[in-house]
Amino acid sequence: MHNVVISGTGLYTPADSISNEELVASFNAWAHQFNVDNAAAIERGELAAQTESSAAFIEKASGIKSRFVMDKAGILDPERMKPRLPERSNDEQSILCQMAVAAAEQALQRAGKTAADIDAVIVACSNLQRPYPAVAIEVQQALGIQGFGFDMNVACSSATFGIQTAFNAVALGQARAVLVVDPEICTGHLNFRDRDSHFIFGDAATAVIVERADLATSPYQFEIVGTKLLTQFSNNIRNNFGFLNRAAEEGIDAADKLFVQEGRKVFREVCPMVAQLIGEHLTENRIDVADVKRFWLHQANLSMNHLIVKKLLGREASVEEAPVILDTYANTSSAGSVIAFHKYQDDLGRGALAVLSSFGAGYSIGSVILRKL
């Protein structure tokens, strides 16, 4: 068994950002028009009137102030309210591959590695754009990496599950180094006409290099002390889009073919599970929670993160202990905790212990304990 490190991280952030105010203006313009167009049906009680969304509510309920997106104009157009991402020919690089490569190049550069040093690519994300060929194999080809690649989806926990998979391959000697990339275009499957959830997601891509410790040369190394995963079935976060939709004509355009959730239930059920899993994981590794310098948590909701760290530490955490990126990125699914890791790691001293943790649909929860080298 080899010791394993994360030797580099990378981030791709889309150029465009949408503020809560811009998003709400678009939603409210659509809602107003909907109520005018359907006044008679609403009057008869056949349709529910649309209620206005509010920027103040969004920030208070979630901590989100803005989000980066791959196509701002399409999302904000009240006639459209979804990104416009034109199809590309099979000979062009796919948009997911393009984002993944941008993040991967930065991770490779920070790790001081080239494609020749990597033996496998895992694309781990919620929102894969096609069933096959695997996006990972396209990324592999784009970067000139030998070996193998595959895609995996464990919703918001895809990155931590991907890191454990990469860790196992490197520890067992199946690969010298594995590139794990998380390209997320969450806005592609967000219902921007649903007041309860239209503000939740943004787009981004992250990458990490998981490498054999004895081969790593980067100044940004973190030893992977341990990984722990948990899944428990729940319908509270669900998307019924899938390959069998066309075999069942009824409901093909229904709202459940996009992201839907029972946000309150998710909040209530997931927070204690995450705190328990991280607590158990630290105990199994004989680490006192008070010795953990940083928690890079999944970035879905600020109050959720406050609650989880408070359960663990028995006190409020400082922003240095649990960094926040959801204020400007919103929820980017699997990329979220890795964005926090990427942006808030360089100040940690040698030997500092930290936890990278994801949680989301499934339910799925991941904990990765890291030590700065």
The smaller minimum CB distance to ligand CO8, of residues 264 and 286, is found at: 264
One-letter amino acid for residue 293 of the chain: K
Across-strand partners of 222?
A: 6, 372
Contact residues toward ligand CO8 (CB under 6 A) are 53-54, 57-58, 61-62, 126-127, 155-156, 186, 189-190, 195-196, 201, 237, 259, 261, 263-264, 266-267, 300-301, 304, 331, 333, 360-361
CB neighbours of residue 302 within 10 Å:
18
Query: Is there a contact between 76 and 108 (Cβ–Cβ < 8 Å)?
Result: no
Least distance to ligand CO8 from the beta carbon of 37, Å?
21
Q: Are 19 and 235 in contact (CB under 8 A)?
A: no
Could you say which of 125, 156, 186, 271 is catalytic? 156
Judged by beta carbon, residue 167 or residue 359, the one nearer ligand CO8 is 359
DSSP per-residue letters across 243-270:
TTGGG--TTTTSGGGS-EE-HHHHHHHH
Minimum CB distance to ligand CO8 smaller for 127 or for 227: 127
Nearer to ligand CO8, 51 or 146 (CB): 51
* Cβ atoms of 141 and 94 closer than 8 Å: no
Measured from the CB atom, the residue of 108 and 326 that comes closer to ligand CO8 is: 326
Comparing every residue's Cβ against ligand CO8, the nearest one is 360
Indicate the Cα dihedral angle 166, 167, 169, 173, nearest 10°: 140
**Is 156 considered catalytic here?**
yes
CB of 142 to ligand CO8, least distance (A): 24
Beta carbon of residue 112, minimum distance to ligand CO8 (angstroms, whole number): 33
Q: How far is the CB of 197 from ligand CO8 (least distance, A)?
A: 6
Min dist. Cβ of residue 191 to ligand CO8 (A): 8
> How far from each other are the two terminal CA atoms of the chain, in whole angstroms?
19
Strands 177-185 and 260-261: unpaired
Residues annotated as catalytic (active site), given as ranges: 156
